[in-house]
């Protein structure tokens, strides 16, 4: 697709808007449809689009496989860390009330952190899955 100038330009122009929309879905998931899973898929879709237009190698230079795999693990650690922090503060696992002096603020903080863990994990897993499937058959082991 190196000679498809219009397609390459359109992809470069659309990618930032897709990424911002993914962040919008994440941060407004408390108040409207959406949340961590949907935002993670949208963020991954931006990189899938770029790799379809510019090639897998170009995108993997900017977003290497080790990084997206680390995102998958980091998101799980964030999610579990919120639960264990609540337990350390005397509440149940994911008992958000204990995360702040005001239970309402604790709920909001807990949900925000858990959803951040979900978006990071889903982004990492979806991008890793695409990388693995897209790279299948291209390289000899």
In the chain, where the domains are located: 5-135
Q: Which residue has 């695409």 as its token pair?
A: 130
Biggest alpha carbon–alpha carbon distance for the chain: 61
> Does the structure show a pLDDT above 80 at 138?
no
Q: What is the pLDDT at residue 34?
A: 65
Residue 137: pLDDT band (50, 70, 90) is confident
Closest CA to 72 of 129, 135, 136, 133: 129
- The token duo for 49 is 């689009």
pLDDT tens digits, residue range 24-71? 998 887 666 568 899 999 999 999 999 999 999 999 999 999 999 999
* pLDDT averaged over every residue in the chain: 90
pLDDT at 115 over 70: yes
Average pLDDT over every residue of 10-14: 95
CA 74-77-80 angle, 5° bins: 155
DSSP state of 35: -
């Amino acid at each position: 697709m190196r000679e498809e100038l219009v397609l390459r330009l359109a992809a470069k122009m659309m990618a930032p808007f897709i990424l911002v929309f993914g962040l919008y879905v994440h941060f407004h998931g408390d108040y409207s449809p959406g949340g961590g899973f949907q935002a993670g898929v949208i963020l991954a879709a931006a990189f899938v689009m770029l790799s379809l237009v510019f090639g897998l190698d170009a995108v993997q230079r900017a977003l290497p496989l080790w990084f997206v795999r680390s995102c998958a693990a980091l998101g799980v650690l964030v999610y579990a860390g919120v639960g264990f922090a609540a337990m350390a503060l005397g509440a149940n696992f994911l008992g958000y009330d204990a995360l702040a002096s005001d239970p309402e603020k604790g709920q909001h903080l807990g949900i925000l952190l858990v959803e951040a863990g979900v978006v990071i994990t889903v982004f990492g897993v979806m991008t890793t899955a695409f990388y693995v499937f897209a790279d299948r058959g291209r390289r000899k082991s």
